[in-house]
């Protein structure tokens, strides 16, 4: 029990730090001193910096699954679920405020031009996320909610706006950034919406 | 002459490395070993890591000014100049390819949730860039090329797509990302274009 609790505290702290500063700047030493633990104690749970980085990624994935993906999955398939996902993520960016950082935005940008196992793991998870967006777009077209469009192009645009709703808000200390992202995605989906499709409530 | 040449070589190398890995991971030691110089030799030109980071930012600014901003300034004011800037930047992302990284995309993301003098410098430069986009949008509206719109919202959307044309290309090794960004910006500007405005050639 004690061991599980300590490991969880380390992962919570690592997740919080990496959301702002990335996974490269995580060090076992600074985590230990932040948590009032010994370096050997933190090291014992993970064994290496890379193992700590990969464990932090798994932790972040379970947080996103619980807080963003699972709630949106309760919305009907296709357009309502796609829109619920966009609302959930932009609302999350509003909640964390201007100094928080979003683990996936920060870490995806950190590793986009790197190589190695951590980058490969981040890329695989982000690719799965992009496939989720594309599948919801395809479902929306199949269900007659959206007029035919290129799912990869639309997913690219939605993801660009979601990322910017975080990033531009933090960089310029602009609390309106998530709402700008939501408004732009709303406008784009509304253009493609068929007359019979369910409304997108903002 | 020799001193100026060495300093320029250090800055070229630092700019190249930071475009992929950011400014935090720059070290005087690794630059020296990459350039076959002594650590003291590199240190002598800058004095501190922060001074090196700030000098690298100034170097990057002069490169962007020369390669992206100055050529677009030759296009007529308003919509043609805004479009020329978007074409220049997405073409640059196509040229650097899938492993290159773009200094400003990388560094703006690296510092968005940090604090301190390097972050403040990056933020000031990126804010000036955003004002440039907004001013070109306002000019396009004033010149009757675009229908009235919120310049801050449209600049947010254009910047989101420009960033993603770099970032998503590198993360997913997708050579189409810059063209996706260009197509999305083209569609958006074309929607807002007045019948009398100059055409946007893709």
pTM of the full predicted structure? 0.96
Residue B1 pLDDT > 50 = no
Q: Can you tell me whether residue B1 is helix, strand or coil? A: coil
- Shortest Cα distance, chain B CAs vs residue A147, angstroms: 16
pLDDT digits (tens, 9 = 90+) for A165-192: 999 999 999 999 999 999 999 999 999 9
pLDDT digits (tens, 9 = 90+) for B73-90: 999 999 999 999 999 999
Q: What ipTM was predicted for this assembly?
A: 0.95
Q: Does B113 touch chain A (CB under 8 A)?
A: yes
A180: closest CA among A167, A192, A164? A164
- Going from N- to C-terminal start, the domains of chain B cover 48-192
So what's the pLDDT on residue A97? 82
Note the CATH number of domain A49-192.
1.10.357.10
DSSP-H helix ranges across B36-102: 39-46, 49-64, 70-73, 79-96
Pairwise CA distance, residues A96 & A105, whole Å = 13
Residue A201 pLDDT > 90 = no
A92: closest CA among A12, A163, A1? A163
Share of chain B above pLDDT 70, in %: 98
Pairwise CA distance, residues A192 & B3, whole Å = 59
| Comparison of pLDDT for B119 and B97, the residue scoring more | B119
pLDDT digits (tens, 9 = 90+) for B102-121: 999 999 999 999 999 999 99
- Shortest Cα distance, chain B CAs vs residue A10, angstroms: 21
User: What is the DSSP annotation of A83-106?
Assistant: HHHHHHHHHHHHHH-SS---HHHH
Residue ranges of A 31-90 with Cβ closer than 8 A to chain B: none
- How sure is the predictor about A1, in pLDDT bands with cuts at 50, 70 and 90? very low
A75: closest CA among A145, A179, A174, A4? A145
B185, A189 Cβ separation under 8 angstroms: no
Q: Does B163 touch chain A (CB under 8 A)?
A: yes
* CATH architecture of residue range(s) B48-192: Orthogonal Bundle (1.10)
Asked if B113 and A100 come within 8 Å (Cβ–Cβ), the reply is yes
């Amino acid at each position: 029990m004690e061991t599980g609790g300590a490991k969880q505290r380390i992962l919570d702290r690592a997740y919080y730090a990496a959301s702002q500063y990335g996974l490269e700047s995580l060090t076992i030493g600074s985590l230990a001193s932040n948590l009032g633990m010994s370096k050997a104690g933190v090291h014992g749970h993970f064994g290496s910096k890379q193992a700590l980085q990969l464990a932090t990624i798994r932790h972040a994935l379970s947080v996103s699954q619980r807080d963003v993906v699972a709630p949106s999955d309760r919305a009907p398939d296709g357009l309502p679920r796609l829109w619920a996902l966009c609302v959930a993520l932009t609302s999350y960016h509003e909640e964390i405020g201007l100094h928080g950082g979003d683990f996936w935005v920060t870490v995806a940008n950190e590793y986009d031009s790197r190589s190695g196992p951590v980058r490969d793991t981040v890329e695989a998870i982000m690719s799965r996320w992009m496939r989720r967006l594309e599948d919801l777009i395809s479902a929306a077209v199949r269900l007659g909610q959206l007029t035919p469009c290129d799912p990869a192009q639309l997913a690219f645009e939605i993801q660009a706006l979601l990322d910017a709703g975080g990033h531009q808000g933090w960089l310029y200390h602009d609390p309106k950034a998530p709402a700008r992202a939501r408004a732009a995605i709303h406008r784009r989906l509304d253009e493609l919406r068929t007359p019979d499709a369910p409304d997108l409530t903002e």
